[in-house]
Amino acid sequence: MSEISRRDFLKLLQGAGALLGVSVVATPVVAYFYPPKLEEVPSEPVLVCAESELPVGESKTIKFGRYPAIVIQTTNGLKAYSAVCTHFACIVKWNNASGEIDCPCHEGYFSPDDGSVLHGPPPAPLTPLIAEVVGGQIYVKVGGES
């Protein structure tokens, strides 16, 4: 078995570095054009909490299958969305002071009324879910506009 020369080793190292550089640049570009999708969601409604535990202006983040969902009691009623940002899949949070759903990663902001992008880099609205009250309990299920 032949030994690898110092020059060949450096070329190999250079090639690995170039490959790493390409992947660092390509990954965000690909992710931008193919935003994360809500998959493996529960087929049954998921219990959030008692309606009395979610006053106007408050939100809860729950586990919804593999992903978190955010439920907000807005002045326009209950709203629910996937809490996964459509930019690079960070978890969004309700900001009661601004009245917007914030993504802290790259300053993306979404409307609580329809999940649309208000400003920032997210390429698509948040995935809407259906929030409903049954017997005084708030449930979230798949549905809504996409």
Binding residues for ligand FES (CB under 6 A)? 85, 87-88, 90, 103, 105-106, 108, 120-122
Smallest gap, in angstroms, from Cβ of residue 105 to ligand FES? 4
Q: How far is the CB of 102 from ligand FES (least distance, A)?
A: 9
For ligand FES, the closer of residues 88 and 139 by Cβ is 88
Q: How far is the CB of 121 from ligand FES (least distance, A)?
A: 5
For residue 140, the minimal CB distance to ligand FES (Å) is 21
* 142 close to 106: Cβ distance less than 8 angstroms: no
Closer CB to ligand FES, 35 or 42, in the complex: 35
Q: Measured from the CB atom, is 60 or 93 closer to ligand FES?
A: 93
- Amino acid, single-letter form, for residue 69: A
Whole-angstrom CA distances from 139 to 33, 64, 73, 113 are 32, 11, 13, 18
Separation of alpha carbons 79 and 89, rounded Å: 20
Q: What are phi and psi of 29, to 5 degrees?
A: -65, -45
The residue nearest ligand FES at its CB is 108
Instruction: Identify the H or E element spanning 30.
Output: helix 6-33
